[in-house]
Every structure is written in C-alpha cells, then in structure tokens.
Structure 1
Amino acid sequence: MGEKKRKTESEAKHYFMFERKNYKFMLIGVAFIALGFILMSGGGSDDPNVFNPEIYNWRRIRLAPALILIGFGIEVYAILLNPHKDKK
C-alpha cells in the first residue's frame, strides 16, 4: 500500500494557472494603472476657501483616466491570453 501512495503523489503535477507571459502582461497593466493614478493626484488647494483651477488640468481629466482604462484592458488581455496557442 505504501508504494501505491508514493506513486500517486509523484504523478500529481502542480500547474500554475497562468504562465510567465501572462504575468508579464499583468505587471505591465498594473504599471499603467499605477501611473494613471499618480498622474491624477494633486491639484488641490491648501486653503479650502480658495479654488485652484489646476484640478481641471488636461493631465488629470483626460490622460490619467485613459491610462487607467488602458491598464484595465491590458489586464483583461493578460487573463484571457493563452500562451499555448502559439506552440504547435
């Protein structure tokens, strides 16, 4: 009985859900999202009674949200990517 147990344990293979290519794209997507949030920060005023128009800067209104959406798109691509499709 001991031999049978060892044989089944050695035959059991552990596989990762994603491969190296998936993780690379995931890191790229996280970098885009982080960069978008960094670009979106700031623009506030130290005095709450004074309005600072820098909050409506092009970088905060257009560029940063676009980078975040691109990052989320890259994340979806990384999850759906099948690295075995290229191999034959």
Structure 2
Amino acid sequence: MKSSFPFKHKNYQLMLIGLAMIIAGFTIIGLDGEPHGFGFMGLTLGPIITLGGFMFQFYAIFHQSKN
C-alpha cells in the first residue's frame, strides 16, 4: 500500500527534534539577562543552537531509510 505522506515516520520524528532545537534556541536568546540580548546567551549560545536546529531540519528532510 502506497503511503500518501511525503516522508516516512522517522523523518517526521527528526523534524520534531529540529523544531524543538529551533524553539530552544530562540527561547535562550529571549532569556538573556543583558539589555537587548547582548550577553553570551543572546549573541552566541542561542544563535548556535538555532542554526544547529535549522541544519538538523535539512538532515531530517533528506534522511532516507535503508529499507
């Protein structure tokens, strides 16, 4: 039976992980205690985690199962 979904179940799981990473990155940026987010969390840690989340999304989209 042919599935009507464009991705497999594993792809959707990986996409949810990537989405959680992106949300966590933006949350970390927002939690920075410095004015206007100019501290370590707002300028370094949050953007790195957000970028990692977007890169993980690309991996999730192009991931192919061995089956």
Instruction: Bin the TM-score by the shorter chain.
Output: 0.7 to 0.9
Higher helix proportion, which one? 2
TM-score normalised to the size of structure 2?
0.84
Give the CA RMSD over aligned residues.
1.9
**Match of 1:36?**
25
Change (3 A) 1:20 1:14: closer
Using the TM superposition, give the Cα deviation of residue 56 of structure 1 relative to its aligned residue in structure 2, in angstroms: 1.7
TM-score (norm 1): 0.65
Q: Which runs of 5+ in 1 are unaligned?
A: 1-11, 45-53
- Provide structure 2 residue ranges, at least 5 long, that are not aligned to the other structure: none
The answer to whether 1:60 aligns with 2:42 is yes
Report the counterpart of residue 26 of structure 1 in structure 2. 15
Cα deviation digits, residues 32-77 of structure 1 (max 9, x gap): 0000000111457xxxxxxxxx132111110000011000011001
Q: Structure 1 residue 15: deviation in Å?
A: 2.6
